[in-house]
Amino acid sequence: MQSILTDFKWWISLIIAFAMLSCSQIPKNAKSLQGLALGTTYNIQYTSEIPEVQVQKGVDSLFYVLNKSLSTYLPNSAISKINSGDTTIVVDQHFKKVFNKATEIWQATDGYFDPTVGALVNAYGFGPEKPLNLVNQYQQDSLLLLTGWEKVRLLPNGLIKKQHPDIYIDFNALAKGYVVDVIGKYLAELGDLNYMVEIGGEIVAYGNSPKNNKPWKIAIDDPAQGNERKFIQTLYLKNQALASSGNYRKYRIEPVTGQRFVHSINPLTGLAIASKTLSTSVKARDCMTADAWATALMVMPVEMGKQLIESRPDLAAFWVIADGNEIDLLVSSLWKN
């Protein structure tokens, strides 16, 4: 369940860095777990008195269960079997929650967020430093028959019904955020009131950091940095989630104008469009919501995205936009702490 290609996603998430404390700096009540999962790294900081080996066992169990349900990279997962045409799979509660959130975001974004866009992504051949494949009108029309979240239904009995057997469902644009949320809730159930869960740059942070008893401090990388690492934004999270989408490290240069841009697929038209939006970050109450909105904002027109975010008191967003050779920053009114 690695980062997906939804808005031409071989996207690497906008890298989010949070201060890692040296062992000598970590208070006695602060504990941490690090490792590899979902095709990326994870870091969990918490203060529970539960033995670390027990917490690790619980986290590993959750990764296993969630992968079996939602990972398109496991051939025997529920979603992979559904994608291969198995109509007998009864999905679990995790699949249902992600499905319902996907429907919510699809409706809220007028279809710009669409988990069925994978067929178009693959056809255009998005990838690092690769030219786009030429997709003719006939191919585009055929692929649009396999695109559209309205063509997929979750039935009351837990079965998935697709209008066409070849429709490919990919939840990776919000599943990683969901996993972050699930692990956070697991820590809360252990009685932990102060924790931070980060998986591949997607974060949920509750309570305060045990280092200073203040909200968790997060830094976002500057896309214009050179050899020396710089941060473009520093913010504090408390009882919030943060997710990012972007591809500013793999932008392309238009040979005539010299402008930098990335490509995004419009799931409504099937067209690959040049976009000046290099990255987006979204704050929300839960990471699944933030994850999905960050993906949607990469695809939709900036002004439309900003209007939608401003209409939502539960969301805040930050855009990094290419303006010729310059980088512009756009923030919603609720972004500031």
Contact by Cβ (8 Å): 321, 328: yes
pLDDT for 7 equals 34
Is pLDDT of 128 > 60? no
pLDDT at 47: 92
> What percentage of the chain carries pLDDT values higher than 90?
64
At residue 20, does pLDDT exceed 50? Answer: no
Which domains, ranges and CATH numbers included, belong to the chain?
16-331 (3.10.520.10)
Write the pLDDT tens digit of every residue in 281-312. Answer: 999 999 999 999 999 999 999 999 999 999 99
Q: Which comes out higher in pLDDT, residue 30 or 181?
A: 181
**Residue 9's pLDDT band (cuts 50, 70, 90):** very low
For strands 316-323 and 326-331, give the pairing: antiparallel
Confidence of residue 223 (pLDDT cuts 50, 70, 90): low
What pLDDT, on a 0 to 100 scale, did the predictor assign at position 131? 64
Instruction: Flag whether the pTM goes above 0.85.
Output: yes
Decide if pLDDT at 151 tops 60: yes
- The answer to whether the Cα torsion of 253, 256, 258, 263 is positive or negative is negative
Statement: residue 231 has pLDDT above 90: no
90: confidence class by pLDDT, cuts 50, 70, 90: very high
How many residues appear in the chain? 337
pLDDT above 60 for 19:
no
Q: Is the pLDDT of residue 252 over 60?
A: no
* Rounded distance between C-alpha atoms, residue 289 and residue 292, angstroms: 5
What is the torsion angle, in degrees rounded to the nearest 10, for the CA atoms of residue 224, residue 228, residue 233 and residue 235?
160
Q: Give the pLDDT band (50/70/90) at residue 256.
A: low
Whole-number pLDDT of residue 248: 52
CB neighbours (10 Å) of residue 108?
18
